[in-house]
Chains A and B, each alone.
Chain A
């Protein structure tokens, strides 16, 4: 392969570093009205009276919007395929506010200053209601967060708002109670994960205008332009054909831009006033008023034989979806569906529980999507079990984990909000990943720990993980390849590059199929008027699903070119040889450049263009083993991460360097969740960690060494052997770090994040016990 599996520079990095106009706000009209939202100061309240007359009278205020301006049409901002597995439980504006930061009213004014002044002039009388702030007491609480009658589920997801249930779920394989009873060793433990924030560096940004044809044109920093168009149309009852959504360069997403944010407001302002409008979330709004990861509690039981054969996994889980139920069921299910099959030799599995509403910032899509929560619980518990059994965790995993050609009954039972599909592991190099990681981290020399002197201990820990590659039978992607005069190509893709490098790797796939060089393929993503359908950048789907669509289009275009040359030569297509540059048949020869110029200017004139689609029928999981070496100070509880080793099976990498970037970025985001990114609410439901000073993401100071390798792997259903790689990197750090801290100093942290305070407290408790 000449272009694929090559570490080529990204197609866009240079222009971006040079500061070219590229991101959504760069395209806002200079005279845009500034849209600002008045946000609720109460975690739960009813708007009894709202008076906008003073705000409307202020000079420079164009429009004030309240719930009275919108029909009561519930929708979901989730940004998923249709019908969504998320409840339709949100109104653009409502007469109830359900968390501190929820939308109470909106203003459009000539500048920021006037808009902010106008917000203060809106008089609202709230009837303050008692909130539900503890998700463990939300189920069947007497306080009901969504009493309104219009809200509904699109198909059964266990939605029962009278019980504060956004979704609920139950699955089992075999008889778990019996397996646990028969198990010689059982461990039981609860684990808590928190509401990690995405902290994409570009805040949510959107702007709109009416174009000269009277169509609403929106530039949005989104992962899902096609869904955004549909959701605006449905929520505002505005014709789909009159909306165009353009996704320019996106400054990071991580799932945070799968859902819609300010789109409804700028669209409404432009529709009502005919004027351009724009909205940029403040960082505080990104933290408080967008969404974060669903916090969860796992009550986990594992049963095994005394020689270390895992027999049963039993999990009761409660997930906090906050004020709205976006991705409630699907994130919940992934916590088992993309975690528990790692141990496929068990007799029985049970996974059940509730996704509850609370009066907190909503949960939503976030890289890892439940799998990171489930991984922390299961992979921590597996190490606890190993300790009880006195078995090396590496040996235990080799014995019990999933291997190539094997399957798990869970694949068929659990899918995206419904049933899944049976799937055998055509590629699973987990065995290699664990062996290689074991060598790289020098496990044998360190495990469980080494005393370094001065109260410091070195320890190692590890975890294994899996993810998916798109959502089978739901996600569809398509790609258009157009041949131009002079013989270069346009690649038009609905797939959205959000920084992960999809414009580059999809161009690499196209170039490989077309037999050309990367610079001869010009990618464009994405614009609902111009680029073909693609569900968007989520669920680790782009390389596998969109990549397969591009591969198909590339192969078909290549054949179209050969067919045209055959006509020129007056031979059969199978008699034409083509290396991507020159077409030959016997004595006849024509270059692609000559052929394309002939096609467009001289003879047999026609446009060569092809659109191909791909629809996944399975979701081959990428796998990885994550190993971490830490130094833990028993005096201070501080943890230094010395090295994080990742060995990943993502099939064949399309671009090894960019794939490495995906893994390493995921690892550091996972380290952030595991160690630094604490989420603090006041007792009254106010988010304290709502800026980058209080919410601490890893800086370059905390990152010492990342060692990242790929297993030799070829997934034959993937484009050129590739599986996905966007999410897998984030899954292992929480459990691997918890395990490393345990191995280093003997305390088990079961509530994320793993802070020095928690380690010190646990060490004190341990001393007391000893």
Chain B
């Protein structure tokens, strides 16, 4: 069946099966920032914003995205670049597999919470798992990035 989704500001039409997941539909359209990690909404690397809210594309059927606005980090390159500079300086980069989704979720958090505390940040990003960094350097970088905005 054909569905219409606005992806990063562009109206797109996809031919999908009823049981296709959004992750596969978008990756087939060369959106490489979203990744496959667990198939159970547990790791966060497939995060996209649906109408501005972070959701897991590995468990959302593509047909459910019909008529919605989907944003990935491809649509927020400036924010990604800015956060990545802090990541670089804090030594928070490792394998990078979770980083695009993390940047996107940080962006969503900024929209949702004004001046988030340490606890707010941890709570908001708890679903973005990272196995490489031990989180501490990521946390420093995210805080500095938020301070930049103030």
Which residues of A does B touch, CB under 8 Å? 7, 9-10, 12-14, 16-23, 25-26, 30, 113, 198-203, 249-254, 280, 282-283, 498-501, 655-658, 660-661, 664-669, 691-693, 697-701, 703, 705-706
Q: Which of B14-35 contact A (CB under 8 A)?
A: 17, 19, 27-28, 30-35
Shortest CB-to-CB span from B66 to chain A, Å, is 20
Residues of A within 8 A of B102 (CB): 17
B136 pairs with A706, CB closer than 8 A: yes
The distance in angstroms between the C-alpha atoms of A198 and B131, with both chains bound, is 9
The distance in angstroms between the C-alpha atoms of A22 and B30, with both chains bound, is 12
B91 pairs with A202, CB closer than 8 A: no
The distance in angstroms between the C-alpha atoms of A21 and B37, with both chains bound, is 16
- B95's nearest neighbour on chain A, judged by CB, is A499
Q: Which of B80-101 contact A (CB under 8 A)?
A: 80-81, 83-85, 87-100
Q: Is B129 an interface residue (CB 8 A)?
A: yes
> Which of these, B42, B94, B98, B127, contacts A691 with CB under 8 Å?
B42
> Which of these, B34, B77, B93, B98, contacts A18 with CB under 8 Å?
B77
Interface residue tally for chain B (C-beta within 8 Å):
60
Nearest 6 CB-CB pairs, A to B? A19-B33, A499-B95, A9-B88, A657-B91, A251-B97, A16-B96
The distance in angstroms between the C-alpha atoms of A249 and B32, with both chains bound, is 13
A251 pairs with B40, CB closer than 8 A: no
A282 pairs with B39, CB closer than 8 A: yes
Residues of A within 8 A of B132 (CB): 252, 499, 661, 665
Which residues of B does A touch, CB under 8 Å? 17, 19, 27-28, 30-40, 42-43, 45, 72-74, 77, 80-81, 83-85, 87-100, 102-103, 122-123, 125-139
- A252's nearest neighbour on chain B, judged by CB, is B95
Shortest CB-to-CB span from B29 to chain A, Å, is 10
A21-B99 contact given A283-B37, A697-B131, CB 8 Å threshold: no
B131 pairs with A703, CB closer than 8 A: no
A700-B94 contact given A9-B88, A13-B88, CB 8 Å threshold: no
A661 pairs with B91, CB closer than 8 A: yes
* A/B pair count, beta carbons within 8 Å: 189
A667 pairs with B134, CB closer than 8 A: yes
Residues of B within 8 A of A500 (CB): 94
B91 pairs with A660, CB closer than 8 A: yes
Shortest CB-to-CB span from A236 to chain B, Å, is 27
Residues of B within 8 A of A664 (CB): 133-134, 136-137
A699 pairs with B129, CB closer than 8 A: yes
A498 pairs with B126, CB closer than 8 A: no
The distance in angstroms between the C-alpha atoms of A280 and B124, with both chains bound, is 29
The distance in angstroms between the C-alpha atoms of A573 and B42, with both chains bound, is 61
- B89's nearest neighbour on chain A, judged by CB, is A9
Residues of B within 8 A of A282 (CB): 39
Query: Can you list 28 A-B contacts (CB < 8 A)?
Result: A7-B89, A9-B89, A12-B93, A19-B73, A19-B80, A21-B32, A23-B97, A113-B17, A199-B131, A201-B35, A202-B35, A250-B95, A252-B131, A254-B131, A500-B94, A658-B91, A664-B134, A665-B133, A665-B134, A668-B133, A691-B38, A691-B40, A691-B42, A700-B122, A700-B128, A701-B122, A703-B134, A706-B134
A18 pairs with B131, CB closer than 8 A: no
Residues of B within 8 A of A280 (CB): 36
**Max chain A Cβ within 10 angstroms of own Cβ: one of B34, B91, B137:** B91
The distance in angstroms between the C-alpha atoms of A699 and B89, with both chains bound, is 23
Residues of A within 8 A of B45 (CB): 201
- A657's nearest neighbour on chain B, judged by CB, is B91
B84 pairs with A201, CB closer than 8 A: no
A9 pairs with B95, CB closer than 8 A: no
B72 pairs with A655, CB closer than 8 A: no
Residues of A within 8 A of B80 (CB): 17-19
The distance in angstroms between the C-alpha atoms of A664 and B137, with both chains bound, is 9
B77 pairs with A202, CB closer than 8 A: no
Residues of B within 8 A of A657 (CB): 89-91, 137
A202-B95 contact given A19-B73, A703-B135, CB 8 Å threshold: yes
A700 pairs with B125, CB closer than 8 A: yes
B93 pairs with A201, CB closer than 8 A: no
B93 pairs with A251, CB closer than 8 A: no
A661 pairs with B137, CB closer than 8 A: yes
Shortest CB-to-CB span from B119 to chain A, Å, is 9
Shortest CB-to-CB span from B98 to chain A, Å, is 5
- B90's nearest neighbour on chain A, judged by CB, is A657
The distance in angstroms between the C-alpha atoms of A20 and B100, with both chains bound, is 9
A668 pairs with B135, CB closer than 8 A: yes
A283 pairs with B40, CB closer than 8 A: yes
Shortest CB-to-CB span from B104 to chain A, Å, is 9
Shortest CB-to-CB span from A112 to chain B, Å, is 8
> Which of these, B93, B127, B130, contacts A16 with CB under 8 Å?
B93
The distance in angstroms between the C-alpha atoms of A701 and B118, with both chains bound, is 10
Residues of A within 8 A of B97 (CB): 16, 23, 201-202, 251-252, 499
Residues of A within 8 A of B31 (CB): 19
Residues of A within 8 A of B92 (CB): 13, 661
Residues of A within 8 A of B139 (CB): 700
Shortest CB-to-CB span from A261 to chain B, Å, is 15
The distance in angstroms between the C-alpha atoms of A655 and B94, with both chains bound, is 13
**Max chain A Cβ within 10 angstroms of own Cβ: one of B27, B31, B96, B98:** B96
Residues of A within 8 A of B136 (CB): 664, 703, 705-706
